[in-house]
Structure 1
Amino acid sequence: MRRIVRNSWILCWKNFIKSAKNWRLFDRSPFFSINPNEEILLNWTEKKWILIQWFQGGLVAGVIVALVGCAAQGQPGGGPVDVIGPRLVSVIPENGSIRVTLKPKIELTFSETINPRSAEGTLIVSPHLKTTPVIKTNRKKITIKLLEPLQSNRTYIFSYARNLQDFQKNPTVEDIKLAFSTGDSLDEGKISGIVYQIPEKKPAMIWVFRKQIAFPDSLPSQKPDYAAAVTGSGFYEVSNLPVGEYRLIAHVPPAAKPGTFFPMEEDPLGIQQTKNIVIRHRNDTAIGINFRLDKISLRPFRLLTAVPTNNALELNFTSSIPDTNLKNAAFHIIGSGTPNVLKTWADAGSPKQVFLQVDGLIPDSTYSIAIRNLFDETGDHPALDNRPIRFTWRVQTDTLKPRLIKTNPLNRGKNFGSTDPIVLDFSEPIILDSIQQKILLFESDSINVPTADRWLDGNSLVLTPMEPLKSNSNYTIKLLCQKWKDAADNFFKDSVITQTFSTIDVNQFGSLSGIVKTSTTIDFKKLIVAVQSSTENFQRQTHPDSTGKFVFLSLLPGKYSARIWFDPNGDEVYDAGRMIPYRIAEPYKDLPNMITIRSRWETAEVELNY
């Protein structure tokens, strides 16, 4: 290819020489003539011919050079597919250098061509610079031009993490980070740990915030001071940190913005499980700073709006609210008339919505609402910020028919527990005279099973069999709903609903026993040990005794993963923490090894290290 380019330029030069000889240009040009004072006289035909010869040669050379340049950046045809990312070959200044000038030349050279787009907007400089450096990518080399001098006696980190890619979108083999100091020593503080529950094939990042006077109220709105990539195994290490106090956030950025900290509500996030992370001396190391990724609300729990809809009042919150949390909640409508809340229910399809059926409201009148004892799924109470939530009541015609939207167990579900309650979720409250005569449970389609019933909230009905269901048996739920209706006299969408499910075969059960071991003193009774089958949605959890021993008596055969977390509030549910107001997560650990359970067999003496 180089020979073709060279020959094209030779052709261009030969055309020029040929034209010059034909028109005696050497004899009349001040560049070639012995007598430079000789007058240069070229008519238009001569000029045009020389231009044509030059254009022919130059066009061929230009096209070839352009094709060569494009070909150099694409994936070569044939041969094995490139799946190995770029590797850092050399850096200027050297990593770990001290006494670096305040306006250094910064270059990174890689083993293959870097896609310039991957270098745009993904560089993190710590500490921050007032002006953004200019990034120039030239094939294998990245040049970072500083627009302001660095500060003296500071350690600087220029990090791309693993955001740089080649033209086949392969990320770099390792974290790309350059650390150097403008003073006589380099900061050597380190923080490391494990990130659990990373989605498959999703790169995770650790974002580090250093305390100045105080931490900001909202970390998601701040630019992080340091960053590090998380390995495929979940390990991370942030190095070259100065003395100070830190907060860390684990995050899976969206694919479109791999190197940016701009978390959205749907992004997996992790909050640190340790209250204070402090580097007290220049070479201190903080280990075991772990994270579990989860869906975490980026806003404090509060009521956003109250909107009349279908003769009910729709309340929209920032966080999800379980049905069970409505039982002790109190909703007060303040305004004209005698408002009275008759029923409350949560929307199974939109868990951030709660509906109120209210009597005594006057049309076109304005009301405000007060809430007490309502908690979201993490146990937070809504902060109203002293702002009354107001609404104007409008009478609307409700024409929507009530319907069954969710059941537990699912229709045709398997391995239902013999003592588990049956839950029916409706789209809105329904009116029915006698549940016992309208909702029936049968064993093998014919044997009636007596049940006790209770309303969990306005639209969720719980059926509890009077006796445990039989093992490895088929059951049918029949709903005779031809006369069911809502408060607006809209009849149920279906006249008869039939669903089936089967129970667990207890003869297949195996058991698991063992002990939890810790390196520090801990209240074992506040630990939760949970196991989950790798093939079915089957999970169980228990508390160890005061010595750390635990037992699971009823597990289906198969392979199980185990996890442990510390549950100080005793709600039996993992608390992933909160961004606003900031609250650390409960300490959590995934156990790396799978546990095999066999039918009618005890898997004993299993040690789980927490």
Structure 2
Amino acid sequence: MNLVQQKFTGILLVLLSFSCAQVVAPTGGEKDSSPPEIIEAQPPIGQSNFTEKSFSIEFDEFIKLRNLNKQLLVSPPLKHELKSRIKGKSLVVDIEDTLKANTTYVINFGSAIVDITEQNPVEDFKYIFSTGEAVDSLSISGNILDAFDLEPQEGFNVQLYRGNAFDSLPIQSLPDYVGKTDKDGNFSITNIGKGTYVIFALQDGNDNYLFDRPDEAIAFASEVLSIGSTKTDIELFAFAEDNQKQFVEKVSTNGPLLIVQFKKAWQNPVGFQPLSKNGPELKHFEYGLQKDSLLIWWSQNTDQEFALIVSIGEDFKDTLSFELDSLPKGQKLKVDDKFNETYPYFRSVPIAFNFPLDLTAVDEDKMTLTRLDGKAISFSTQIGPPNTQTLRLDFKRKEDSTYKLTILPGAVTDVYGRTTDTISTEIAFDKAADYGRLIVKLDTTVASNRILQLTDANGKVLREDFTSSLTTTFEHLRPGQYGLKIVFDENQNFTWDSGRFLERQQAEKCIILKQKIDIRANWDKEIDWIIAE
């Protein structure tokens, strides 16, 4: 082999070796899961006689700040925000406020300090110092629940004020100490000085530590808090004050129907007065079930703009302008029900129509009710409840049975004089064995002005007992999960009432049975509920 051949062969072997080699990504070590560690703080954490305008924290690796505005909590609050910056592996914080004398400050960074590679946070890191001779060491902790549904309240400021005067402190003054509730409603405030305090909690809508918005939920202790040692059992109940003014939230029309939706339910009677004597004729009106809406049906031919004054007692008055439409010509009264459900055997049958019925124009002679074998059944009717669009049919019925109903034209007439086409349908009923029953026995010496509520699994109220009896039976319950709740109705107005801070009035107390209740068909369930003071 000559020299040229040897060189060529050598080059070829090298190329072949490269082409046969596998490309493998370099392997690293284990993923870093450790948070940054503090090397040094200047001045040291826990420094007394603090007079500096800044402090720095050095870590063992490079760091960054994440969501500092949401995480940072300074107690007591400062008028000017802290200025934070990263310098190498250090966090430097500048203080622009004039600090209070003889005061312990806690600057809680939460989990805002993280390493730059894996975002591992330094959890609940606090820089603490005192402008006095010593760092205060007392603390309090507790939790905040919603006063109505007892759900934990996250993100509340828990604020302490020195002294024993409730007055308007949370409205006008910044707190002396502050903490914040977590997702479970728990809070703690550390490094508190010995003394007497007012404790107040605030769902701070504008981040200024002041109760200055009507929609901000609050909580407070009725008595002053004397702190001489650590306290761990503080429980507060949050509520929003019912101080929102009444107003018309929405006005809508559907043909000749005007619907006025109010912001909240009313206590006083609602009145209305047309502004023009030449407006459409009033045919019918009624109130919504929750007493927060007004429904008015006007005359059939109403293609025009119209104005109306609506008032509630002496407290509210408003002028509404709207445009009504006429009813389509030839349109008949219709039944909204599809009659495809099985009706409860223990109730009259509700037949829903699409317009209010004429209370004086029900002709039972044009209605027939028979068994499936054709035998006639006597019956009675009435309009409502829940409204005048409902005709209720009542008769002696058997469980697990089916009947045939026929409604001829002219049997029912609406307020516009219209009637239906012939309606022919079957009505089926269930049986007692389809239901369960719940017997609730209360063991309590608490005052009798209470409301016992039966709720579904999600807390929606299904039934209420206002009798204050120690034994209550809830009949005819569909199989499923239920809950129990008690409202202590202090003012005996048959509803839950919120509180007011300036009057030192707490929201009415509620208690909820912790476990859900399983109801089975054709079974009785008995619950013994001990209610403590």
Equivalent of residue 515 in structure 1, options 438, 442, 466? 442
SS at match of 1:195: strand
1:340-489 equivalences in 2 (<5 Å): 343-345=284-286, 353-357=293-297, 368-372=309-313, 383-384=315-316, 388-392=317-321, 396-398=324-326, 416=344, 418-419=346-347, 422=350, 424=352, 426=354, 429=356, 433-434=361-362, 450=379, 452-455=381-384, 461=390, 463=392, 465=394
Q: Which residue of 1 aligns with 2:271?
A: 331
- List per-residue Cα deviations over 1:443-463 (Å, max 9, x = no partner): 889886845433458665373
Q: Does structure 1 conserve the Cα–Cα contact (< 8 Å) formed by 2:362 and 2:411?
A: no
Q: Which residue of 2 aligns with 1:214?
A: 168
Q: Which residue of 1 aligns with 2:98?
A: 149
Structure 1 length as normaliser, TM-score? 0.56
How far apart are 1:138 and its partner, in Å? 8.1
Q: Which residue of 2 aligns with 1:318?
A: 263
Q: Which residue of 1 aligns with 2:248?
A: 304
Equivalent of residue 198 in structure 2, options 220, 227, 245? 245
How far apart are 1:371 and its partner, in Å? 1.8
Distance in structure 2 (CA, Å) of the matches to 1:162 and 1:435: 74
Distance in structure 1 (CA, Å) of the matches to 2:398 and 2:229: 63
How far apart are 1:566 and its partner, in Å? 1.3
SS at match of 2:67: helix
Distance 1:557 1:123, change over 3 A: same
Q: Which residue of 2 aligns with 1:64?
A: none
- List per-residue Cα deviations over 1:442-495 (Å, max 9, x = no partner): 98898868454334586653737466x765667899888999887778999x98
Distance 1:496 1:261, change over 3 A: farther
Distance in structure 2 (CA, Å) of the matches to 1:176 and 1:497: 74
SS at match of 1:105: strand
Equivalent of residue 590 in structure 1, options 487, 492, 512? 512
Q: Does structure 1 conserve the Cα–Cα contact (< 8 Å) formed by 2:137 and 2:191?
A: yes
Distance in structure 2 (CA, Å) of the matches to 1:565 and 1:285: 29
| Aligned alpha-carbon RMSD (Å) | 6.4
Equivalent of residue 142 in structure 2, options 167, 192, 195? 192
**Which structure: greater strand fraction?**
2
- List per-residue Cα deviations over 1:482-535 (Å, max 9, x = no partner): 99887778999x986979786563475354444345xxx630x22334454649
Distance in structure 1 (CA, Å) of the matches to 2:311 and 2:530: 50
How far apart are 1:206 and its partner, in Å? 2.1
Q: Which residue of 1 aligns with 2:489?
A: 567
Equivalent of residue 53 in structure 2, options 90, 103, 114? 103
How far apart are 1:303 and its partner, in Å? 2.0
Distance 1:515 1:488, change over 3 A: closer
Q: Does structure 1 conserve the Cα–Cα contact (< 8 Å) formed by 2:348 and 2:392?
A: no
SS at match of 2:99: coil
- List per-residue Cα deviations over 1:566-588 (Å, max 9, x = no partner): 12244544445589999743212
- Letter in structure 1 aligned against 2:73: I
Q: Which residue of 1 aligns with 2:78?
A: 129
Equivalent of residue 235 in structure 2, options 281, 284, 289? 289
Q: Does structure 1 conserve the Cα–Cα contact (< 8 Å) formed by 2:109 and 2:124?
A: yes
Equivalent of residue 505 in structure 1, options 413, 423, 432? 432
SS at match of 1:120: helix
Q: Which residue of 2 aligns with 1:204?
A: 154
Equivalent of residue 119 in structure 1, options 68, 72, 95? 68
SS at match of 2:51: coil
Distance in structure 2 (CA, Å) of the matches to 1:577 and 1:279: 20
The count of aligned residue pairs is 486
Q: Does structure 2 conserve the Cα–Cα contact (< 8 Å) formed by 1:102 and 1:149?
A: no
Distance 1:244 1:516, change over 3 A: same
Task: Provide structure 1 residue ranges, at least 5 long, that are not aligned to the other structure.
Answer: 1-75, 374-382
Distance 1:331 1:531, change over 3 A: closer
Q: Does structure 2 conserve the Cα–Cα contact (< 8 Å) formed by 1:335 and 1:368?
A: yes
Distance 1:357 1:536, change over 3 A: closer
- List per-residue Cα deviations over 1:11-60 (Å, max 9, x = no partner): xxxxxxxxxxxxxxxxxxxxxxxxxxxxxxxxxxxxxxxxxxxxxxxxxx
Distance in structure 2 (CA, Å) of the matches to 1:87 and 1:497: 78
Q: Which residue of 1 aligns with 2:222?
A: 276
Distance in structure 1 (CA, Å) of the matches to 2:395 and 2:172: 50
SS at match of 2:235: coil
SS at match of 1:607: strand
Q: Does structure 1 conserve the Cα–Cα contact (< 8 Å) formed by 2:158 and 2:201?
A: yes
SS at match of 2:248: strand
Q: Which residue of 2 aligns with 1:607?
A: 530
Distance 1:480 1:362, change over 3 A: closer
Distance in structure 2 (CA, Å) of the matches to 1:368 and 1:484: 33
- Letter in structure 2 aligned against 1:564: I
Q: Does structure 1 conserve the Cα–Cα contact (< 8 Å) formed by 2:248 and 2:261?
A: yes
How far apart are 1:417 and its partner, in Å? 7.9
SS at match of 1:564: strand
Q: Which residue of 2 aligns with 1:528?
A: 451
Segment drifting more, 172-181 vs 161-170:
161-170
Distance 1:509 1:366, change over 3 A: closer
How far apart are 1:194 and its partner, in Å? 4.8
Distance 1:443 1:111, change over 3 A: farther
Distance 1:508 1:173, change over 3 A: farther
SS at match of 2:143: strand
- List per-residue Cα deviations over 1:177-218 (Å, max 9, x = no partner): 66654334638464623526588xx98222346678516789
Q: Which residue of 1 aligns with 2:16?
A: none
- Letter in structure 2 aligned against 1:454: I
- List per-residue Cα deviations over 1:580-601 (Å, max 9, x = no partner): 9997432123333345556545
Q: Which residue of 2 aligns with 1:71?
A: none
Distance in structure 2 (CA, Å) of the matches to 1:536 and 1:412: 28
Structure 2 length as normaliser, TM-score? 0.62
Distance 1:489 1:473, change over 3 A: closer
SS at match of 1:565: strand
Task: Provide structure 2 residue ranges, at least 5 long, that are not aligned to the other structure.
Answer: 1-26
Distance in structure 2 (CA, Å) of the matches to 1:144 and 1:125: 13
Q: Does structure 2 conserve the Cα–Cα contact (< 8 Å) formed by 1:96 and 1:180?
A: yes
Distance 1:367 1:565, change over 3 A: closer
- Letter in structure 1 aligned against 2:248: L
Distance in structure 2 (CA, Å) of the matches to 1:574 and 1:362: 44
- Letter in structure 2 aligned against 1:276: S
Distance 1:117 1:237, change over 3 A: closer
